[in-house]
Amino acid sequence: MFFQRPFYFPNAGSRNVFSELERMRQDMGRLMEGFGSEIFSQPSAGVFPLVNLTEDTNGYFVRAELPGLKADELNITATGNTLSISGERKISIEGKDIRYHRREREAGSFSRIISLPGDVDANKVDAKLTDGILTVYIPKAETAKPKQITVK
């Protein structure tokens, strides 16, 4: 009982505490998996710009938020099954006699390579920049397109 342990060491039960924590962590991990990767999506690359990749039967769509960029400030190339997006976001100096209250928008250069799941037709890539959203459409190579097979 209590008097049998005159000095109370808070660490005495630490092994139990940690194993309990570990069990909770594993439970949380299982819970997260259950929700699917979409909701808890972390930046898989952590490289600017963050992109969303979608596909339809004919091609891939890569979308990125690039507010304030002009089309000629972007450099997009496609080779094999990779797409590379690079450029520089510029924020102009607004004048001499101004005082900033807030400065949250960031400028800087960026460069990113995205691996696409299948082979693409690099000659037919189409890129659009509207309202600060870049949409790159990359048609799949003929070999990568799903073929409908009719059963006779």
Partner 1 sequence: MTDTIGKELQARQKTEVNAPAEQTTQGVIFVPAVDIFESEKDITLLADLPGVKSKDLKIDLRDNILTLSAEVAPFEEADEKDLFVEYEIGNYYRQFTLSELINQEKIDARLQDGVLRLILPKSDKAVPKKIAVKVA
Query: Rule CB under 8 A: which residues touch partner 1?
Result: 38, 41, 43-57, 60-61, 63, 65-70, 89-95, 97-110, 117, 129, 131-133, 135
User: Which CB atom, from 70 or from 124, has the smaller least distance to partner 1?
Assistant: 70
Indicate the residue among 110 and 121 with the shorter CB distance to partner 1: 110
On whether the CB atoms of residues 111 and 77 are closer than 8 A, the answer is no
Q: CB of residue 89 vs partner 1: minimum separation in angstroms?
A: 6
CB closer to partner 1, 102 vs 152: 102
Query: d(Cα 31, Cα 68) in Å, to the nearest integer?
Result: 39
Q: Min. distance of Cβ 45 from partner 1 in angstroms? A: 7
Of the candidates 115, 103, 113, which has an alpha carbon nearest to the alpha carbon of residue 49? 113
| The residue type at 94 | E
Q: How far apart are CA 58 and CA 40, in angstroms?
A: 28
Q: How far is the CB of 66 from partner 1 (least distance, A)?
A: 7
* Least distance CB 6 / partner 1 (angstroms): 49
Please state, in angstroms and rounded to a whole number, the distance separating the CA atoms of residues 124 and 106: 32
**Cβ nearer to partner 1, comparing 110 with 122:** 110
Q: Please, how many CA atoms are within 13 Å of residue 15, restricted to the half-sphere of its CB?
A: 1
